[in-house]
Structure 1
Amino acid sequence: MIVSQSRSTFATGPRGRPGGDTGSDDEEERCDSEPKSSRFQYDELDGEGRAQGATALICPSDLKAPLTDRDTGAVNVYGFPDPAQNTPKSGKGNIFDRTHIVGDKVGGDWVNENLFTGFSRMNKSGMRRCEIKMERQLAAQNWVQYTAKVNYSHTEGIPDSITMSARTENGVLFDNVTVKNITEWQTTC
């Protein structure tokens, strides 16, 4: 299991999370009254054009129905390889994904500010487990307050990891979980 956790983001409310640490009535009211565009905030790209992070109040109405078409868009994600360099030796699948900071299934947009180059296994194991927890809460008609930061240890290239936190009116789903951008399967959340 490759996962690390650090100090809680919910105690201090960093990075200007939409809605801050308000009560559940405030989030429910925002879900009823505010459009997604005001509830989802993506950090600006860095000087290299790389995604940095996001915060979102995700409402039950943002959850996509099963088998809904994905908007794959023609987004040129920093560091994403051409198809010849993205095919594993087995010829099946991809080595890298255009990885969402705020997941596609929970309403995350196909924009550069919300996409980074992530190993497919990172996206389909470590990040996916956390996203499933959020999807279950949304399906149960609960809002999710989510924040994530993409971590780089260098000035160029793809990220090393992403650190994510999520809570609902029922409590914390996961807090400061770091998913490494590696080729191995990971267990998180």
Structure 2
Amino acid sequence: MPHISLESHLPGITGLLEYSKETAQPIRELTQFLLRGPSSLTEAERELIATVVSHGNECVFCTTAHTAAADLLAGETQTAQKVKENISTAPVSQKMKALLTIAALTRQSGKSVTAEHIEEAKVAGATDVEIHDTVLIASLFCLYNRYVDGLGTALPENPAYYLTLADRLVNHGYTRLPNGYDHLKK
């Protein structure tokens, strides 16, 4: 049961973003830019960063949503699962392993990221922009995870909701649907 009155047909972050459209707008714009805007990191790789951070923060809604989006973008379901289990043995490039490690460390504390971690990422081929964006995405998802769990948002009743949400995130992005979310009412 959410700690504040939210629309019952909108689980997780969607209900919070609809609750306060004014504060939601800049957050949505930043998320859209970071996860769907121009980048040398693929959209799937950026979703993996969101997945690793959300998983580490034990945010069930965000972990499940971004795992589903990463899976849809990648066209398979193994990589996100393996990344959540163990970054160092996951089937991703050395550069992504280094960036995902930085994301996981950022989740713990920004001060956990050391010059050695940055150097490892650079040696593996990461650019300064990719390192910057990784830390910013990780920080943003810490905000989202705490927002979702701090206000006790509901999980969807039907797990298939996450597949629909992943499709929306992949094909529409992080902006608000033009006609809102009334179509999700039962």
Name the structure where helix makes up a greater proportion of residues: 2
Q: TM-score, normalised by structure 1?
A: 0.30
TM-score (norm 2): 0.30
Q: Which has the higher strand share?
A: 1
Answer 1 or 2: higher relative contact order, Cα 8 Å, separation at least 6. Answer: 2
